[in-house]
Chain A
């Protein structure tokens, strides 16, 4: 099985996020980065499929030079080779533009299966994997926890709500967007990192794959949520308090 895993490098979970001067993105100068969480589960699923069925795992990431660290982490965990689409203007690309870059890089690989994470920890669109499937012209399924190879293709377990799951069978090639939590993640080892140094990491410049089209969705601005908790004790007896409450709900909180 040839599996391509698309991973994204996102700001670290624990990072103290500050809005930058333009108020359109976060301050990146002292940011620490890590692999997107659901992408880590996608990688784990790919590695387990390779261990069971043989084949090759190729890791793919779009981003500036710094994503090299995350790519190497993926190689250290067991991916066989990597493609880095060098792109410095990710901020100007929407999900469609990024999916186009991924599709261009994947097309030459003749992959049986493409795994992406369900959504990114920073933007959280949840779209890129699905758009990618459309661009590649293959079936897809999202919110996938586990994947099994069958004679006809794949059998996947999909997470619904309230503890319900769904099983889907689909042929290969396909794209699956993987949800977090389906497997226990393996840890990167020293031996893995040393081996990763010898594994191939091919760099393709984003500009080679075509100019970025005008984004269809534009990020207008970001702001930190204002947390405010005020407690008001309404005076008077039950009848008076109820009347005061209704007024506040109507005109202050505006929920009625």
Chain B
């Protein structure tokens, strides 16, 4: 029979012996915790200081802390059901703060919350509600891990997770059961001790498992680098990136120890999804294992026993991992850092890579094509040359200048700009922005390219740039900052969207599946502008993985230049997803995505949808230009 106004039962009296035993157990539990956590903390603090980390933008950090940690926003949003279950467990823990404090106080005879008093009853009932939610949550998570077995949690079942789940469940049950006993009874005493032991066993387990995130992740989220894919500068003559343990920084170490092994990063990784060796979670755990093994002062290479060089060079730098991580791990600086360590010291031996580096050392573009071809293209299309008087410099980039599809995109966009009456010009000379070598970690070639380009832009008095390639936009705006002050730059979809009201609306019901490029979406937060433009030209349909969850085309990270892929092709996987939407057209906003899908769609059986850049979608709705240039001279002969 449940008493009508049940209150939390507490043991009324503890003998001196019991109090002593409790004290000894608390101290032992704390000592065991520190025995493991102390060295971890030491390893984090003993790591090199991050050269570009400043504890600034406190407002934003506090907001991120509030949203991500307290409200569990990303945890829930990106994996709703398990996320909610986890949130219940976390909120339960938070709500239990006073409960636990009081529980311990009771053990020493100084309990301060009267279960029969007004506040006591209110609080304990509130905590009970949280306890129910927490127990349900932890049970759900346990069932998911042990019975449902989603593959992103790994093939091996984690018994330590089972133990932790059991302990949490026990804590909740012993708390709730105390409402059904009476003060001072043996039952209440037993419940108190079971709850206490569960707690005191739980605490030292924390630093031995991924549950260390309980302690570290609030700090990790708060201490983020501050920007997406923030690649740190190299400092001094001895810094080549992440070569050995000595190069690991405090943020990297903190993040490595915060990993909860949830597998959200791996779940969205294009390499992991296509059977490659690369698994972002394993990279982070490899760093953690290195820290636990050789440690932050070691000269053993980071790529070797603990992480594979092959895996690291399969990364497209798409950023899905960094975006997904609920505890604030920033994978991209780690990946690029490891690559730098291999490339800047010459330990990366790859024929395609060496060819790319040599091409960019002696030539102007990543494709190894003569610059004369770019001149010919400009002449043939009649593109105006930038002379300092125009408002915009149209940056062609390697794809826009040399790739056939890239050129089509440039031509289409030039048509749009002509229609809008924009004053623009293209530079006489361009060198590759260095994006592929930047992502591959070759700082020597990247620095040369950045400096030469900045000099060229300054000499030509370029103030504003518009580009068709998100990689160029990102590299010019962010990565060149290390070597000078780049001019303003925007992507052509941002430009066109600003003038959307002047672009003719097309009466078309054609379904267009828009693919968010990684370097425009996750890197730049540009999602709505291209969609507004797509809506002008047809009917927008979304792929299952879209916006921040967009699945990479496979070209990034310099991979487009590295030869054949192993396993299933990333571009084919994504193309299949886009085609499955039933769209008649695939819309892209990046010449690399365009190139990858051109190949993938070309290999599909049956009629593949057409592939068009957003500029081409807009341009097809423009009226034809007024004057057509005569190409045949009188006399029946043609001259070239």
Which residue numbers of A lie inside 8 Å of B, CB to CB? Answer: 12-16, 34-35, 40, 73, 76, 184-194, 227, 229-233
Contact = CB atoms under 8 A, between A and B. Distances in A.
Contacts of A76: 444
A35 B358 CA distance: 11
Contact of B444 (A40, A186, A188, A229): A188
A12 B363 contact: yes
B345 A189 contact: yes
Given A40-B358, A187-B354, 11 more contacts: A185-B354, A186-B354, A187-B357, A187-B445, A189-B345, A189-B444, A190-B443, A194-B237, A227-B640, A229-B639, A233-B637
A74 B602 CA distance: 44
Nearest to A16: B371
A187 B240 contact: no
A184 B371 contact: no
Contacts of A73: 361
12 contacts: A12-B362, A14-B362, A14-B372, A184-B351, A185-B354, A187-B353, A187-B354, A189-B442, A190-B442, A192-B444, A227-B640, A230-B637
B344 interface: yes
Nearest to A197: B237
Nearest to A229: B640
B563 interface: no
A13 B363 contact: yes
Contacts, number: 72
B370 interface: yes
B296 to A, nearest CB: 21
Contact of B346 (A15, A186, A233): A186
Contacts of A227: 640
Contact of A230 (B238, B375, B442, B639): B639
B351 A192 contact: no
Q: Is the interface of A mostly helix, strand, loop or mixed?
A: loop
B561 to A, nearest CB: 13
A187 B358 contact: yes
Given A16-B371, A230-B639, A34 B361 contact: yes
B364 interface: yes
Nearest to A186: B354
A38 B475 CA distance: 33
Nearest to B370: A14
Nearest to B443: A190
A192 B362 contact: no
Across the A-B interface, give the 8 residue pairs with the lowest CB-CB distance, nearest first. Answer: A187-B357, A190-B344, A14-B371, A34-B362, A189-B346, A190-B444, A191-B345, A187-B354
Contacts of B372: 14, 16
Contact of B344 (A12, A14, A191): A191
B141 interface: no
B112 to A, nearest CB: 62
B638 interface: yes
Contacts of B637: 230-233
Contacts of A16: 371-372, 375, 429
Interface in B414-445: 429, 442-445
Contacts of B361: 34, 73, 187-188
Contact of B442 (A15, A34, A187, A194): A187
A14 B370 CA distance: 5
Most chain B Cβ neighbours within 10 Å, of A16, A184, A190, A232: A190
B367 to A, nearest CB: 12
A135 to B, nearest CB: 30
A184 B240 CA distance: 24
Contacts of B345: 189-191
A126 B346 CA distance: 32
A207 B343 CA distance: 41
A232 B635 CA distance: 10
B3 interface: no
B389 to A, nearest CB: 22
Contacts of A193: 444
A158 B639 CA distance: 44
B636 interface: yes
A186 B350 CA distance: 9
A163 B300 CA distance: 46
Nearest to A188: B444
Most chain B Cβ neighbours within 10 Å, of A184, A187, A191, A192: A187
A18 B351 CA distance: 34
A192 B638 contact: no
Contacts of B363: 12-14
B168 to A, nearest CB: 49
Contacts of A13: 362-363, 370
A230 B635 CA distance: 12
A76 B371 CA distance: 27
A184 B636 contact: no
A8 B346 CA distance: 24
Contacts of A34: 361-362
A121 to B, nearest CB: 10
A70 B375 CA distance: 27
A190 B240 contact: yes
A34 B452 CA distance: 14
A16 to B, nearest CB: 7
Nearest to A185: B358
Most chain A Cβ neighbours within 10 Å, of B345, B371, B444: B444
Contacts of A15: 371
Given A13-B362, A16-B371, A191 B240 contact: yes
Interface in B442-493: 442-445
Contacts of A185: 354, 358
B378 to A, nearest CB: 13
Contacts of B362: 12-14, 34-35
A73 B344 CA distance: 14
Interface string B364-395: 10000011100100000000000000000000
Nearest to A184: B351
Contacts of A40: 358
Nearest to B243: A191
A233 B632 CA distance: 15
A229 B639 CA distance: 7
A191 B442 CA distance: 10
Contacts of B429: 16
A15 B637 CA distance: 33
Contacts of A188: 357, 361, 444
A192 B355 CA distance: 17
A232 B363 CA distance: 38
Contacts of B370: 13-14
